[in-house]
Structure 1
Amino acid sequence: MQPISELFAADPPLAAYDVVVPCYNRAHSVADAVESVLAQDPAPARVIIVDDGSSDDSAAVIAALERQYPDRVEAVLLPRNGGASNARNAGAARARSDWIAFLDSDDLWLPGAARALLSAAASTTTDIVVGHFARVEADGIAQAPECHWDGGCIRTALASGGVIGPSWAIVRRTAVFAVNGFDPSFRNCNDWDFYTRVAAAGGRFTRIEAVVALYRTVAGDRLVNDSAAGAINAQRVLAHPYFADA
């Protein structure tokens, strides 16, 4: 007879995950981003913070976080600015868990984000889990939840634009390396290009209803801030053969 303790056993443990936080001139916000993931249940196996050659005090803040959390935080200080793709790849190369989250250094994970994303990963056969986010402008007030993918055909969604953001998604580690990570030649639209290439390679996407992140437009330089280059890179993404019949 099966023991009662087994009949009422807790759900199996969720998969381990690492969080990569690329940072460029975000000394005033990167600690908040890191604290928001360290507070998750389950907590990440490792938070890998990559300073992308910042000219402010970001490197010092990141090094201090590593000293404060020596068993949980790893600081990667790049000697020069190489762009968001390069920073994310540098962090992913140090990840060891089955799942990787890419949280921008000006965004925050909400309480319960990790559990919501990983529960979907455990209950479905998927490579990328996408949640909702709430936009926070200068007034500090979270707006209505958003998710620019309706959960339908992912190719149709990606053909309409960059509908998934790294801060509100989690990616299977093998899917990241199957497409060689983020393309450093994209100084912007790099996340849109990344998800397109994962989808083209057969990656499976799942959407959940949970609001998992705050997308903050805090003051300071962005990892990417060039609208002219953005228009060019958008055309590069849309030229991918994956969209030929979309």
Structure 2
Amino acid sequence: MNTPHPLASFDSPLPGYDVVIPCYNRAHVVADAVRSVLRQDPAPERVIVVDDGSTDASAAVIAGLANRYPRVSAILLPRNGGASHARNAGAASTRAPWLAFLDSDDVWLPGAARALLRAGETRDVDVVVGHFARVEPGEQPGGPECGWDGGDIRGALATGGVVGPSWSMVRRATVFGVGGFDPSFHNCNDWDFYVRAGATGARFARIDDTVALYRTVIGARLVADVEIGRGNAGRILSHPYCAAPAN
């Protein structure tokens, strides 16, 4: 697995970044996500963890993390509003020029932030996409995966949700330029977000580094809502950006 590695100390300084971690009923793993970000070099300016009205102990765990780590901020929403709403609530508290949206059941690998930021600055792009490794319960990580081959992003997004928030980083201006994530999507909200970003001219780049572990932990997952997902996919594919001919 091609994991990121720290670059030499004489590299030019990298821009700042914030990380938003939405959480719903992931009390047993959210601390792993937070600590994987805090261990990055360079460190994030802020890690904003948003509890989306969880019914387990997530709110208490997140509050404890905020009390322990100065860079961590907790937003505890009173009721469940969905991943888009939680991500938007977290993004509203950010200030850094780059944002990442790490899912609460995933983790970043060492060197992830540096690899993503460096590509964003050296290639002058707005969205940087890395690889991830899938981890099934009780098993070792699989090989590197990325749904996008690095070619035509419009054509790729017209086939499905090929970019994931846990293994990408986005300029803050791009996030707010498209109005963030659409709360009307129960699932497929990240796919919709990247489509709308592409439609506004956002520049995408892919790197070969594996930057995250995608963990299929115990708990309900939105991807299991097949009928709702089918309807949301249809909405996204009807977007003019997806319907336009590939370059």
* TM-score, normalization by structure 1: 0.94
Aligned pairs for 1:26-41 (under 5 A) are: 26-41=26-41
Alpha-carbon contact 1:24-1:222 (below 8 Å) kept: no
Task: Name the structure 1 match of 2:204.
Answer: 205
Amino acid at match of 2:201: G
Task: Name the structure 2 match of 1:117.
Answer: 116
Q: CA deviation at 1:221?
A: 2.4
Task: Name the structure 1 match of 2:146.
Answer: 147
Q: CA deviation at 1:121?
A: 1.0
Aligned pairs for 1:166-181 (under 5 A) are: 166-181=165-180
Amino acid at match of 1:229: I
Alpha-carbon contact 1:84-1:224 (below 8 Å) kept: no
The number of equivalent residue pairs is 238
Q: CA deviation at 1:11?
A: 2.0
Task: Name the structure 2 match of 1:103.
Answer: 102
Larger Rg: 1
Q: Secondary structure at the match of 2:142?
A: strand
Task: Name the structure 2 match of 1:59.
Answer: 59
Alpha-carbon contact 2:158-2:243 (below 8 Å) kept: no
Amino acid at match of 2:15: A
Alpha-carbon contact 1:86-1:182 (below 8 Å) kept: yes
Matched, 1:193 2:192: yes
Q: Show CA shifts across 1:100-152 (max 9, x none).
A: 00000000000010110011011011000000000001123100100110000
Counterparts of 1:219 and 1:181 in 2: how far apart (Å)?
Answer: 28
Q: Secondary structure at the match of 2:73?
A: strand
Q: Show CA shifts across 1:45-96 (max 9, x none).
A: 0000000000000000000000001x20000000000000000000000010
Task: Name the structure 2 match of 1:6.
Answer: none
Q: Secondary structure at the match of 2:170?
A: strand
Q: Show CA shifts across 1:21-45 (max 9, x none).
A: 0000000000000000000000100
Amino acid at match of 1:136: V
Alpha-carbon contact 1:83-1:224 (below 8 Å) kept: no
Question: What is the identity percentage for the equivalent residue pairs of Structure 1 and Structure 2?
Answer: 68
Alpha-carbon contact 2:40-2:110 (below 8 Å) kept: yes
Task: Name the structure 2 match of 1:235.
Answer: 234
Unaligned runs of 5+ in 1: 1-8
Counterparts of 1:100 and 1:77 in 2: how far apart (Å)?
Answer: 20
Counterparts of 1:194 and 1:225 in 2: how far apart (Å)?
Answer: 20
Counterparts of 1:113 and 1:136 in 2: how far apart (Å)?
Answer: 17
Q: Secondary structure at the match of 1:91?
A: helix
Alpha-carbon contact 1:84-1:223 (below 8 Å) kept: no
Distance 1:229 1:194, change over 3 A: same
Distance 1:79 1:48, change over 3 A: same
Alpha-carbon contact 2:195-2:242 (below 8 Å) kept: no
Counterparts of 1:218 and 1:245 in 2: how far apart (Å)?
Answer: 37
Q: Secondary structure at the match of 1:134?
A: strand
Alpha-carbon contact 1:135-1:215 (below 8 Å) kept: yes
Counterparts of 2:214 and 2:201 in 1: how far apart (Å)?
Answer: 28
Q: CA deviation at 1:223?
A: 5.4
* TM-score, normalization by structure 2: 0.94
Q: CA deviation at 1:222?
A: 2.8
Unaligned runs of 5+ in 2: 1-8
Task: Name the structure 2 match of 1:50.
Answer: 50
Q: Secondary structure at the match of 1:74?
A: strand
